[in-house]
Amino acid sequence: MTSPQEAFVAFDHVQKSYDGVSLVVKDLNLFIGKGEFLTMLGPSGSGKTTTLMMLAGFETATHGEIRLDGVNINLVPPHKRGIGMVFQNYALFPHMTVGENLSFPLEVRGMDKSTRETKVKRALDMVQMYSFINRRPAQLSGGQQQRIALARALVFDPKLVLMDEPLGALDKQLREHMQFEIKHLHESLGITVVYVTHDQGEALTMSDRVAVFNDGRIQQLATPSDLYERPENSFVAGFIGENNKLAGTVEEIGGGRCTVRLATGEVIDATPVNVTAKGQKTLVSIRPERVEYKPESFPAGAHVLDAEVLEFIYMGDLFRTRLKVAGSEDFVIKSRNTMGQRVLKPGEKIKVGWHPQDARALDL
C-alpha cells in the first residue's frame, strides 16, 4: 500500500463541484506509487473521469491538493505537468502525418530536429508502427490509430501517462490484444499509468491496483484478485464480475464466521465482511464459478440447497446455468465445457453446493 509520503501521485482530500452545491468527487484520498498501473473503474457519473481530468489539469479541484512527485500541481497548466494523455477518440491531427503527429509535442518543448527524429523513431518502434511514419490518420485502422496515439503520449518521456477509455472504440478481439500490448509496454518502460474505464474485465486484466468509484467516492481500492475474491460491499461485489446474492438475516456472529438465515428459511454460514451484529439484514455473495451442481464435485463441508433450472446457455468454453435458489431466480452457475457435459433442462430439479468460505455476508 502506497503511503502519502511515498506517493508519486497524490489526491489529498480532493473535492470537485461544478455548481458549488453537489459534489461530483467527495473527499478523495488516493495515493499512487511510482511505476504503478492504477485503474479507476466505475459506472458513468461515478467521478472517475473527473478525477482523471483534475490530474491532467483540464479541471480544477474545488478543494484539496493534487501532487505529482511531491509537488502541488493544482495551479500548474496542463502543458507544464509533463503528463502524456491517450483518449478514446485518439485526438490525432488529421492534416499531419504520423511522424508529424509525434514530432509536434517535441517541437512545443523546443527540441532540435535530430532529437525529435530519434525520439519519434523510438516511440514508433515501441508500438511496431515505424513503417507507417508517412501516413495520415485517415489511412490507418482504428487499432493502428490507437497505437499512434499511445506512441505520441510516450514520445516526450512523460513522468506519467493518463488513459481515458482508450480502447472503447475498438472491436472485442483488437481491444483484448491492445490490453496486453499496453500492459507489456508499461512493464518494459516502468512508467506510471492512471487508466480510466467502465469495463471491469479490462481493469482486472491490466492493473496493479483498481480503485472502484461510485457516487463520487472510492468504494474499494485493491489488487484485481482482492477485488474479485474479497469485495468489501455489495456494490463492489455486484460491479466486479457476476455475483449471486441471497438475502437473509444474521443469526450468529463471531470468530470470523456468521450464520445467516435466508429469506426462505435455509441456514448457511458465511464470512462476515461489513455485518457486525445478530439480527442485521445481509446479502450473502457467492461467485458463480464457486458453485457446483454435480454431487460428486461438492467440496467437503459444502452447503447443499435445492434448485430449479430456469435457463441453460451454451457460451462456447462455458455453460451458464440460471436457477431458482432460496427464492432468488437470478442464481447463476458457470461451468467449464468438458467432454460428456450433461445438458440441464429448464424445469429440472437439482442440488447445488458450495464451500462456506466462498460465501461473504455483505451490507444491503
pLDDT band at 249 (very low <50, low <70, confident <90, very high): very high
293, three cell numbers: 451442481
Average pLDDT of 63-81?
A: 95
What is the band of 340 on the pLDDT scale with cuts at 50, 70, 90? low
CATH fold of 242-362: OB fold (Dihydrolipoamide Acetyltransferase, E2P) (2.40.50)
Q: What is the mean pLDDT of residues 342-361?
A: 92
Q: What are phi and psi of 98, to 5 degrees?
A: -55, -45
Measured distance CA(98)–CA(88) in Å, rounded? 18
Determine contact, residues 50/15, Cβ cutoff 8 Å.
no
At residue 80, what is the residue type?
Answer: K
DSSP 54-92: HHHTSS--SEEEEEETTEE-TTS-GGGS-EEEEETT---
Give start and end residues of each alpha helix (H) in 288-360: none
CB count in 10 Å sphere of residue 95:
10
Has residue 217 got a pLDDT over 90?
yes
H or E element that contains 71: strand 71-72
- Considering the chain, what is the average pLDDT of its residues? 91
Question: Tens digit of pLDDT for each residue in 49-63?
Answer: 999 999 999 999 999
Q: Are 9-234 and 242-362 the same fold in CATH?
A: no
Single out the residue of 280, 272, 208, 270 nearest to residue 250, CA to CA. Answer: 280
3-state helix, strand, coil in the chain (%, to 5): 30, 35, 35
Q: Angle of helix 142-154 relative to helix 113-126, nearest 10 degrees?
A: 130
Residue-range domain boundaries for the chain: 9-234, 242-362
Lay out the sheet containing 160-164: strands in order across.
83-87, 160-164, 192-197, 37-41, 209-214, 217-222
HSE (side-chain half, CA atoms, 13 Å) at 295: 5
Question: What integer pLDDT is reported at residue 1 of this predicted model?
Answer: 65
Give the H/E segment covering residue 200. helix 200-206
Q: What is the CA angle 66-70-76, rounded to 5?
A: 50
Could you read off the pLDDT of 285-295 as tens digits, one per residue?
Answer: 999 999 998 88
Architecture of domain 9-234: 3-Layer(aba) Sandwich (3.40)
Q: What is the DSSP letter of 172?
A: H
Nearest Cα residue to 328 out of 356, 304, 306, 295: 306
CA dist 310 → 177, 322, 325, 339, 350 (Å)? 35, 6, 10, 23, 11
Residue 50 or 343, more confident: 50
Angle subtended by helix axes 98-108 and 113-126, to nearest 10? 130
User: Tell me: the pLDDT tens digits for 119-164?
Assistant: 999 999 988 899 999 999 999 988 889 889 999 999 988 989 999 9
